[in-house]
Homo-oligomer: A and B are copies of this chain.
Amino acid sequence: MKAKAVFYHAGCGVCVEAEQSLAAALDPARFDVEIVNFASAPERVAEAEAAGVKSVPAFVIDGRPFHINHGATMDQVRGAT
């Protein structure tokens, strides 16, 4: 069974770079990667915060948050949505 990896972002430049270089790099044989853009899915903010996401872009892999560089805080994300 594949592990779940969710990449959360907000469409920012830092986010796009991380998506293209890192989110796209995961092994498709072992991971189901879902890309969530808060600009089009603001209802997913609560789920990301519950997993420990403090800023975007971020991965949640097997329930653990990994913040990648820094595009925006979740407060900024909420203000923008």
- Give how many copies assemble into the complex: 2
Q: A45 within 8 Å of B by Cβ?
A: no
Q: A28: which of B17, B18, B27, B64 is its contact (CB, 8 Å)?
A: B27
Describe A's contact surface by its main secondary structure. Answer: strand
A69→B67 contact, CB < 8 A: yes
| Shortest Cβ distance from residue A41 to the other chain B in the assembled complex, whole angstroms | 23
A62→B21 contact, CB < 8 A: yes
Query: When chains A and B are docked, how far (Å) is the Cα of A22 from the Cα of B57?
Result: 14
A61→B21 contact, CB < 8 A: yes
Query: When chains A and B are docked, how far (Å) is the Cα of A3 from the Cα of B3?
Result: 23
Chain A residues at the B interface, C-beta cutoff of 8 Å: 3, 5, 17-18, 21-22, 25-31, 59, 61-62, 64-70
